[in-house]
Structure formats: C-alpha cells, structure tokens
Amino acid sequence: MATGTNTMIKDTILKVEHLSMKFGGLMAINDFSFEAKRGEITALIGPNGAGKTTVFNCITGFYKPTMGMLTLKRSNGKEFLLERLRDFEINKVAGVSRTFQNIRLFSGLTVLENLLVAQHNVLMKASGYTILGLLGLPAYKTAAKEAIEKATYWLEKADLIDRADDPAGDLSYGAQRRLEIARAMCTGPELLCLDEPAAGLNPKESLTLNALLRGIRDEGTSLLLIEHDMSVVMEISDHVVVLEYGQKISDGTPDHVKNDPKVIAAYLGVEDEEVEQIEEQLDHGTVEGGTV
C-alpha cells in the first residue's frame, strides 16, 4: 500500500529493538520495538504510566536501558548505537535533540542566549576553544554571525523574535514551549524528540504548534513525539505507536491505530470480553472509532 501511494521508499532513522528497562523489580518497558522513518512525524502514545517518557529517556541517554538496541542512522549513512554514547554525544555526534514535559529552559539566560548555547559546539570550534575567539579572528566573527542568524530564523518561526533579549524565564508558558523547540532545533538535529509539546496549551496555541511541527518536518527533520492531545496526534502524525504497560499494543497509521480495538480498550479501560464484542462489531462495521 505504501509503495502504491508513495514511490519514495522511506529510510529508517531510528530503530528501537527489544528495548527493556527495569527499575528494581518494576518492568517499565518490556521488549519494545519500533521504527521511526526519516522525514516523518512518529507519535508515541499510551495511557499515563505506560512508559512513554522512559522510552524517551533511553533514547536520549538519560537512562541506560537494561536490554535492547537503539540504532540511529544519520543521513550520511553513519549508524550510532545511542545506548553507548555519552550524554552530550547523543546530540553532538548522533544528532538527536529533545524537549521535556516540564520545561527545562535556562531561565536566567536570555532567549537568544538559550539558542546560542544550543550551537555551542559550532561556536567553540570556530572560536578555537575560546582562545582564538578572544583575539577576534574573522572566522569566529563569521561563525558568531551565522549562529545569530540561525537563532533569528528559529525565533521568527517560533514567533518569539520580539522577545530575543528577555530572560527566558519571563516568557509565558506557551512561548517557553515554543522556545524549547526552537532551542532543540538550533542544535541542528536529524531527529527531534518532543515530550508532550502540547501539554497545557490552549486550542489556539495548539494550532500554532501544529504548524510549527509540520514546518520542522517539511524542512527535513524527523520527529518523534509523545502526546496526549489526540487532536495534535491525529492531525499531524504520519505514524503512531501505542504503548501500554511497557509493551507495544499497536503500530501503524493514525487511522489504523484509531480503529484498533486494543487501543480503544487501553484508553477506555474495557473488559476483555467487551474488546471481543467490539472486535466483532467492527467486523460488521457498526462502530465508528471516531473518538479515542
């Protein structure tokens, strides 16, 4: 089906294989595998406590997984095993960037500085690890200018250009969320992981966010997002993976997942027999899986 509508064969950017994460006796993630394709928005959904954030934490180096392999393939063909990289290398070498459910900006730094920290490695190199930069070499000046241009570009995208010199902590909640995404993008990631980007946003802000995320995808960055807001998930995702109790229960297009009885059961908490009933009804086409 995919070949019929889409002649371009999509390359895998992130491959998670047999991921397991144990906290003491608790199996938070149990043999979880999925793939995220390059240039797509992949959504990871599931009820509270399903282990979505744990998966993110494994991908971005917060946790060392108990078992499993996380392979990231960059566009130049190089592959990295994320679980073996040091924390800063996940971003610097593998090109993975992330945001948090609870905002983690450098609130004492200005908005612009937040975006410049994200370009640290480029600037450090250009400034000859500070020493040459202090001498004011032209190469550093050009790099500094480029960094500011890149920051400006993302500030405009995130609609924050007027606030560039304000402390990041002074921004409103919605603006802080957009700044976090802009900051993550300034590291030049190939894969951007967003942990509940729409949490706490009002419907209007939510729409702006959708546009921002689509824009990011269209510029070639792949996205992986955790989201509760189904209007966001169904609206923008190309691919949805559903997690419950640390295990994958469904994987496919938004439409496929929306109508998957297991997913409906997970979200509405239906008895097993009822699942069977619904499955039967679905076969007869009497139930619309509209609201999940």
User: Do 74 and 95 contact (CB within 8 A), yes or no?
Assistant: yes
Closest CA to 74 of 106, 89, 96, 55: 96
> Can you tell me the distance from the alpha carbon of 101 to that of 22, in angstroms, rounded to the nearest whole number?
21
Complex with other proteins: residue 134 or 268, whichever CB lies closer: 134
Complex with other proteins: residue 118 or 265, whichever CB lies closer: 118
The residue ranges that bind other proteins (CB under 8 A) are 60-62, 87-88, 90-92, 97-98, 100, 104, 106-109, 113, 116-121, 123-124, 127, 129-130, 133-134, 169, 183-184, 187
What's the closest the beta carbon of residue 226 comes to other proteins, in angstroms?
Answer: 16
> Can you tell me the distance from the alpha carbon of 109 to that of 42, in angstroms, rounded to the nearest whole number?
32
Closest CA to 12 of 239, 248, 218, 185: 239
Complex with other proteins: residue 47 or 167, whichever CB lies closer: 167
Complex with other proteins: residue 46 or 174, whichever CB lies closer: 174
Q: What is residue 201's DSSP assignment?
A: -
What's the closest the beta carbon of residue 156 comes to other proteins, in angstroms?
Answer: 20
Complex with other proteins: residue 68 or 128, whichever CB lies closer: 128
What's the closest the beta carbon of residue 104 comes to other proteins, in angstroms?
Answer: 5
- How do 247-252 and 239-244 pair as beta strands? antiparallel
> Can you tell me the distance from the alpha carbon of 234 to that of 253, in angstroms, rounded to the nearest whole number?
9
> Can you tell me the distance from the alpha carbon of 115 to that of 154, in angstroms, rounded to the nearest whole number?
9
What's the closest the beta carbon of residue 174 comes to other proteins, in angstroms?
Answer: 16
What's the closest the beta carbon of residue 124 comes to other proteins, in angstroms?
Answer: 5
